Amino acid sequence: MNQAPNPVLVIDFGAQYAQLIARRVRELGFYSELVPHYISADALLAKKPLAIILSGGPASVYESNAPSLASEILSKQIPVFGICYGFQLLAKLLGGEVAQTGLREYGATKISVESNSSLFRNLPSSYQVWMSHGDSVVRAPAKFIVTASTDGTKVAAFEDVAKRIAGVQFHPEVVHCEYGMDVLRNFLINISGLKLNWSTDQVLSDAISKVQRQAGNGRAIVGLSGGVDSAVAAAIVQRAIGDRLTAVFVDHGLLRTGEREQVERDFVAATGVKLVVEDAKERFLSALKDITDPEQKRKIIGAQFIRVFESVAAKLQQQSTEPIEFLVQGTLYPDVVESGGGASAATIKSHHNVGGLPEDMRFKLLEPLNTLFKDEVRSVGKLLGLPTEIVNRHPFPGPGLAIRIVGSVNDERLEILRAADLIAREELTNAGLNDQVWQFPVVLLADVCSVGVQGDGRTYGHPIVLRPVSSEDAMTADWSRLPYSLLAKISSRITNEVTGVNRVVLDITSKPPGTIEWE
């Protein structure tokens, strides 16, 4: 982990929104980390938190084995804020009462707030919040003042400003909650008395000095995928150690139109990084010949990728007496959380740029983004002067177009998909909707054919699937409601311009139950 400022710790009680709370706190200008509820009190206190936020969660505080909080944490004069389950837990631990009132509240709910409350300072006396609870706090702990209520919940918020403890039944972190960010800010500033400690400038300078400390005089190598994470990681390390970094771009032949050129031209122009482009198309395509199983495709690509990467590193090593000691990875904070930080691991799926690292890997890792969320990475990228086309680029999977061809992969199919994909991307950009969409996979159903009529003749061609999605972090997603006029334009251009395609369909599945990619 980078040397980050003292955190506002979010304790994850299994909430759907725990990561979101940490992100919101950072958006407000305070460094925040997520820890699971089963972290020991010692480990938690060792992080020297400036404040603690207890997340929501699916349990009921009176269930046996309900997750709890070590009582010593509440005696350390650290400001504490409870949300939903966290609010009920505070009530129980501090001597209040929680009950199943039979009155559940889900979704938008009108709340009335006390004007003299520190938590609701300068907010309207009544507004809409977002609720999702069965149990309710029926009595606040002694000396706490109740500062909000709804029709169904008498105690919807409480606070004890002297103790710097407060809580709310609703979810201020979700976008549908009016004034949610104000409530969080009021807790962090009015009640906790914290000073801002997290800005993009600071993130960047901390990351650069951390890499300089870690790398010393060593040399490093970075695999560029063309995506924003590896680009920003590379640019940070390049700022830190200059030309002791070599970037490697493996062209596996599964890229979209223009990707290799973008890295060769725009990224190098913006950073001046030393770049080695390795043409490995033949080797990837022959290894993938006749393979249709998605998992097998992924494994083959992962293995080939590492082989190419190792051979490039070996060649580079021959050119210098200094060994290449470090490998730069664009690992993000959510990836770190997935591998042990969060409590709700079951809902999280991890992906790695290169399909996994070899077990006997002898590189030491440099991971300058491992405290950051994707939107923060984009801000750092902008500050580093990377081109907008790279910074705002939609995520693209390491295995590339191979997992967007349902069926085996060959040159002809790749060409069809590339042409269709380029049209979809061009039209999305022309419509000015690039930033409204998280990702826009275009998929070729290579083993499916349907009958069409084009010109005066019968055709028997492949369908192309459009899969535009909106998402916050790719863990869950919804299909994007793109305007019909745009969809019509894309469909008409693809069927007219791409030989072999006579049908375009729209994927209207959310994730879950679907995934974003088809394979």
Which candidate in 173, 367, 427, 519 is catalytic? 173
Interface residue with ligand XMP, options 353, 370, 371, 495 (CB under 6 A): 353
- Residue 467 vs 503, nearer CB to ligand XMP: 467
Residue 486: is it exposed, middle or buried by C-beta count within 10 angstroms (0-12/13-18/19+)? middle
Query: What is the nearest approach in angstroms of ligand XMP to the Cβ of residue 353?
Result: 5
For residue 148, the SS3 value is: strand
Per CB under 6 A, does 304 bind ligand XMP? Answer: no
Closest CA to 329 of 256, 232, 241: 232
How many residues at the interface with ligand XMP, by CB under 6 A? 15
List Cα–Cα distances, 70 to 76, 78, 89, 143, 386, in angstroms: 11, 13, 11, 21, 45
Q: How far apart are CA 359 and CA 351, in angstroms?
A: 17
Q: What is the DSSP string of 254-305?
A: -PPTTHHHHIIIIIHHHH--EEEEEE-HHHHHHHHTT---HHHHHHHHHHHH
Per CB under 6 A, does 424 bind ligand XMP? Answer: no
Active site residue 84: yes
Active site residue 359: no
Measured from the Cβ of residue 311, the count of other Cβ atoms closer than 10 Å reads: 12
Region from 122-130, 138-146, 347-355, 447-455 binding ligand XMP, contact rule CB under 6 A: 347-355
Using CA of residue 174, residue 178, residue 181, residue 185, what is the dihedral sign? Answer: negative
Per CB under 6 A, does 400 bind ligand XMP? Answer: no
Query: What is the nearest approach in angstroms of ligand XMP to the Cβ of residue 257?
Result: 17
Structure tokens belonging to residue 295: 């998992």
Per CB under 6 A, does 356 bind ligand XMP? Answer: no
Length reported for the chain: 519
Contact partners, residue 225, CB within 8 Å, separation at least 6? 353, 396, 398
Query: What is the nearest approach in angstroms of ligand XMP to the Cβ of residue 464?
Result: 17
Per CB under 6 A, does 398 bind ligand XMP? Answer: yes
Per CB under 6 A, does 474 bind ligand XMP? Answer: yes
Using CA of residue 441, residue 445, residue 450, residue 456, what is the dihedral sign? Answer: positive
- Residue 307 vs 511, nearer CB to ligand XMP: 511
Backbone angles phi, psi at 229, to 5 degrees: -65, -50
Active site residue 173: yes
Per CB under 6 A, does 470 bind ligand XMP? Answer: no
Per CB under 6 A, does 489 bind ligand XMP? Answer: no
Per CB under 6 A, does 410 bind ligand XMP? Answer: no
Q: How far apart are CA 424 and CA 497, in angstroms?
A: 12
- Residue 185 vs 404, nearer CB to ligand XMP: 404
Interface residue with ligand XMP, options 5, 29, 258, 395 (CB under 6 A): 395
Per CB under 6 A, does 397 bind ligand XMP? Answer: yes
- Residue 179 vs 438, nearer CB to ligand XMP: 438
Binding site for ligand XMP (CB under 6 A): 298, 349, 351, 353, 355, 395, 397-399, 439, 474, 511, 515-517
Q: Indicate which residues carry an active-site annotation.
A: 84, 171, 173
